Amino acid sequence: MLDQKNRWWTEHRYLVFTAGMVVLFGLLGFRLLSMQLIIRPDFLEMATTNRIRTEVIEPTRGRIYDRHNRLLVENRPSHTLYALPWTIKANPATITFLASVLELEENDIRQRIGSHGWNTFYPTTLQRDLPFDKLAYLETVRVDYPGILFRFEAKRSYPYPETVHILGYVGERSTDNVRKLHGRIGLVGKSGIEIIYEKWLGGEPGVLYQQVDASGRITEILDDPPPVEAKPGWDIYLNIDAGLQRYAYELLGDRTGSVVALNPQNGELLVLLSLPDYDPSLFAGVMTPETWEAIINDPGHPLLNRAIQGLYPPGSTFKMAVLTAAIEEGFVNNDFQVTCYGGLQLGRRWFKCWKKGGHGKVNQYKAIQQSCDVFFYNLGLMLGVERMEKYCNVFGFGKLSGIDLDNELTGIIPSVKYLDNKYGTGKWTRGQLANISIGQGDVLVTPLQLAIYTAAISTGKLVKPRLTDKLVNPIDGEVHKIEATSKDLKLSAKCLRIIREGMRMVVNESGGTAYWLRQHDIEIAGKTGTSQNPHGEDHALFVAYAPVENPQIAVAVVIEHGEHGSTSAAPVAVKLIKRYLYDLFPGPRPVFKPKPVELAKTDQDSLQDTLRVVTDGVD
């Protein structure tokens, strides 16, 4: 048996050896064929990648204008210093050199360069808006320090800094976005209009192809493949009036608060001011941790956009919504009156009216005109939470307005569920209802909501506020228009007539809480308010619209710690209204003669009441 096997191997070993060699050389041949034909494109791409570097050309961001074509955000030329992580990784002496020139710690330089990873050719921003002297010096020596490069870029500039909470700011892209977008390292919108319209403002990047040597140095700009031009971002035209915005800023001065003004006919936002503010250019560069800590720890909270994020008890400015609910639900008619003795006893607590001696007999008109708290305590107890919530929602309270800004808050309009969750099922009291009815307690609104609510009273329509009017392509002039939208309040004409008349009397009839601000040529309707603040002096509020017969502007002013709406917030609103209407309707001003109004015969000393409101009232 063994002899047979040996004989077989002796006779066939040549064939076995030949077959093995055929298989071996066949595999080698197939591998060579595969490398030359099948996977050649992959190797060619890898070789090309090592030889050709792609540089993303950042487009110029779109500009932003106000309603009168005044430039709110412009682009000015600047130079930015970048570093190539992979190249500098092989040349660590460059880090020491950069630290000495930029006057930074070496660890800071390392952190910035390695922020997107060290094994990449994506440039990392080291310093934006590089001073010319440093630029000139680095340009002369950079041949000795591989990995340094410069780019000419446009830096955002803000001629109207008081619009910062509208415009927002730009900043560095996140590491994930840099990788995802194949090396795009330009600035990107971080808040405000800059982030809401980033897709439009950001434009489309271009591409430049460069040939590099083994050390990563650029040796040639290639024409094949040809470069791709960057397309600039679209320009944006806002409804904001920059002049009016600046005037509101001057009127508020160094006080903390917010001013919102809009066109009640179409929702165009004319003013959206929040103070204190901040310098948006701080975010356009490479921000240091110390700068960021200083901003977020500022006790004035400058990053907070009080117009859409500031939550305040509306105080007496809320009373028109409560009266609307009472009229529409049939609790109040022309014969309804409440006698005010200076307060209302609920259980063991005395709920005071702002006027210690009381207002006497108060009807629906005088309740708004002189802001009688006792009148509204009674309405709140009759209506209950659900009815008040229903009509507050009609006016847009407790909801997002739909403004084209980020991080808007809804505020709080208490519901049965809300009160049950907060105080326990059925454990909230009639006293809490009374507080809600005068805009205190658990009610919280934003200044923007107050302005929309005031505009809705003036026209009977709830408008969607619009910061942006249109977007324009700077290349071909294509226009994208932002259309106005609104919806009917579906309130009775009688109800709206009563509310409007009460607000007109506030400013134009003796005894009104803002009568001292009556104008001889413009009929303004308004409502004063003071909201309690557990952390200090009360907040001052005032809402108004004008002219009464043909409303062109609605305003809400909130001044933190301003104490009295009639003396602190109201003058700001009235001056703003006058400036806008005088600009809108220039020429000789007619003398306005108010129509006489039938009032209750009680409290005939209404002029003295007005003076008392101005000097030591709380509304």
Q: Are residues 63 and 163 in the same domain?
A: yes
Distance (Å, rounded) from C-alpha 457 to C-alpha 502?
Answer: 11
Q: Which CATH number does the domain housing residue 170 bear?
A: 3.90.1310.10
Q: Are residues 533 and 568 in the same domain?
A: yes
Beta strand pairing status for 64-65 and 235-238?
Answer: parallel
Q: Are residues 280 and 212 in the same domain?
A: no
**Cβ count within 10 A of residue 347:** 9
Q: Are residues 192 and 255 in the same domain?
A: no
Q: Are residues 534 and 459 in the same domain?
A: yes
Q: What is the mean pLDDT of the chain?
A: 84
Q: What is the pLDDT of residue 617?
A: 47
Report the sign of the C-alpha dihedral through residues 446, 447, 453, 455, in that order.
negative
**Please, how many CA atoms are within 13 Å of residue 235, restricted to the half-sphere of its CB?**
20
Residues of the chain with pLDDT below 70 are 1-13, 16, 31, 34-51, 53, 90, 114-122, 174-185, 212-222, 284-288, 588-618
Assess contact for 313 and 439: CB atoms under 8 A: yes
Residue 412 backbone dihedrals phi, psi, to 5 degrees: -135, 125
Assess contact for 169 and 181: CB atoms under 8 A: no
Beta strand pairing status for 188-189 and 170-171?
Answer: antiparallel
Assess contact for 171 and 188: CB atoms under 8 A: yes
Q: Are residues 213 and 266 in the same domain?
A: no
Q: What is the pLDDT of residue 188?
A: 84
Assess contact for 273 and 247: CB atoms under 8 A: no
Q: What is the pLDDT of residue 419?
A: 95
Assess contact for 125 and 153: CB atoms under 8 A: no
Q: Are residues 505 and 603 in the same domain?
A: yes
266 assigned to some structural domain: yes
Q: Which of 336, 314, 316 is nearest to 326 (CA)?
A: 336
**Which of 210, 233, 256 corresponds to the end of one domain?**
233
When divided into structural domains, the chain yields a total of: 2
Assess contact for 558 and 306: CB atoms under 8 A: yes
43 assigned to some structural domain: no
34 assigned to some structural domain: no
348 assigned to some structural domain: yes
31 assigned to some structural domain: no
**Which of 202, 233, 264 corresponds to the end of one domain?**
233
**Three-state SS for 83?**
strand
36 assigned to some structural domain: no
**Three-state SS for 7?**
helix
Q: Are residues 148 and 166 in the same domain?
A: yes
Q: Are residues 330 and 463 in the same domain?
A: yes
Q: Are residues 500 and 599 in the same domain?
A: yes
Q: Which of 122, 178, 177, 186 is nearest to 149 (CA)?
A: 122
**Cβ count within 10 A of residue 346:** 15
Q: Are residues 494 and 513 in the same domain?
A: yes
Largest CA distance in the chain: 140
Q: What is the pLDDT of residue 111?
A: 74
Beta strand pairing status for 349-352 and 343-346?
Answer: antiparallel
Q: Which of 236, 154, 165, 229 is nearest to 198 (CA)?
A: 236
18 assigned to some structural domain: no
**Three-state SS for 401?**
coil
The pair of structure tokens assigned to 320 is: 């028109």
17 assigned to some structural domain: no
Q: Whole domain around residue 274: which residue ranges?
A: 243-298+308-616
Q: Which CATH number does the domain housing residue 290 bear?
A: 3.40.710.10
**Three-state SS for 218?**
strand
Q: What is the pLDDT of residue 457?
A: 98
The pair of structure tokens assigned to 370 is: 């002189």
Residue 17 backbone dihedrals phi, psi, to 5 degrees: -65, -40
Q: What is the pLDDT of residue 610?
A: 38
Q: How many helices (H) and strands (E) does the chain have?
A: 22, 23
Distance (Å, rounded) from C-alpha 163 to C-alpha 385?
Answer: 38
Within 8 A by CB and 6+ apart from 127, the residues are 80, 81, 102, 285, 286
Q: Which of 584, 528, 573 is nearest to 248 (CA)?
A: 573
**Which of 233, 263, 278 corresponds to the end of one domain?**
233
Distance (Å, rounded) from C-alpha 111 to C-alpha 232?
Answer: 31
Q: What is the pLDDT of residue 541?
A: 96
Q: Are residues 585 and 610 in the same domain?
A: yes
